[in-house]
Amino acid sequence: MKITVEEEKCCGAGQCVLIAPEVFDQRDDDGIVVLLDAAPAPDQHEQVREAAAVCPAACIHLDEHA
């Protein structure tokens, strides 16, 4: 799995950080998503999928075949 994020679309809701804190963080100054791990381990894939699904800005993109 390979993850990309569109920072310019992020609204800073933080749902991704709550669901997958090993993969996502937020900038302190404005809350915009920070991608910590663009290729997470298989045991984190389910949380990453959930984080992408609940993102209100739809700014998390997954390539399941990477």
- Taking residues 37-50, report their average pLDDT: 98
pLDDT at 15: 97
57, 9 contact by CB (below 8 A): yes
What pTM, to 2 d.p., does this model score? 0.94
- Asked whether the predicted pLDDT for residue 58 surpasses 90, the reply is yes
3, 61 contact by CB (below 8 A): yes
- Taking residues 36-56, report their average pLDDT: 98
Q: Which residues, in sequence order, are CB contacts of 48 under 8 Å at separation 6+?
A: 1, 3, 20, 23, 40, 60, 62
Percent of the chain with pLDDT over 90: 97
CATH number of the domain located at residue range(s) 2-63 in this protein: 3.30.70.20
List the chain domain ranges.
Answer: 2-63
Name the pLDDT band for 66 (thresholds 50, 70, 90).
Answer: confident
